[in-house]
Amino acid sequence: MSTSEQYKPGYVPSFQPQDSIPGHQHKLDPEPHDIELADGSKYKPAGKLQGKKAFVSGGDSGIGRSVAILFALEGADLSIVHLPEKQKDAEDTVAKIHEYTAGKRTVQLLALDLTKEDNRKKAIDAHIKAFGALDSLILNHGTQKAVESILDLSSELWHHVFDTNIHSFFYLVKAALPHMHKGGTMVFNASVNPFVGHPGLVDYTSTKGAMVAFARALSNQIVGEKGIRVNVVCPGPIWTPLIPATMTEDSQKSFGSKVPMKRPGQPVEVATCFVFLASPDSGYLSGQTMHPNGGSYLG
């Protein structure tokens, strides 16, 4: 399928359920766009992150993969954290980075489950050991599972979603902050859902709202004293492996059709926001949210 087809209003990916969460990118048909833009061109780097050392969680697939690729194109070396079962997707990401950068960037893969407290510090320590610096902390990993009624939402799922989506962010920030210096950036991947209140994702929506509040408070604590900026990206419906792995058939068949642009977004359309927020271009932004959501107004 051509790039232009996936960017046309009315386009919806075919129903293709996956039996594991958060899903595998190599099983998607078509695969999401990492660098191909809506006008048919490819992302044009400008050295915005030259020489930087970045940490990207969930960088094996979806939005995280595109973030990792664009950061590498902009000149950053990086650590990519991924679940052990996502090894193929992670290796595919590294292969794409080497292809697009002609092998000029260094990438470290860390197969770690970030719901485990020890693994959060282990991940940051491994990054520092490999690169000696941490300029951008990009926390993108997350999970969800649609449950229509709160009466059917188990305690186990509630705790797992919070452990993945917000508790791990707290521990990763605590481990990373001592290694970061003035000019450093943190960018978190939240969601449109806390601004609209998704009825089938009560737990997920709650964690993403907590993430926005966490970032705002953290920014107010460190941006003046330490000069480290903290911002959040809040995507709308984006075509990633999480969608076929967690959404019902009815939801998938209408995925992205309700936003003004009448199509799902592509990972590259979100990853560009991360590049902006990690670069000096956004030097006067901290504690803010960006909304790549297909035109929905959230005022």
- The residues assigned a catalytic role are 204
Per 3-state DSSP, the chain is made up of helix, strand and coil in percentages (nearest 5) of: 45, 10, 45
**And the tokens for 159?**
């705790």
Is residue 77 exposed (0-12), middle (13-18) or buried (19+ Cβ within 10 Å)?
Answer: buried
Half-sphere exposure of 44 (CA within 13 A, CB side): 3
Residue 209, amino acid: G
DSSP 70-106: HHHHTT-EEEEEE-GGGHHHHHHHHHHHHHHHTT-S-
Distance CA 21, CA 19 (A): 7
Distance CA 70, CA 52 (A): 13
CA dihedral 21, 24, 28, 34 (to 10 degrees): 120
Q: Which residue's structure tokens are 């926001």? A: 273
- Residue 141 phi/psi, 5-degree rounding, is -65, 155
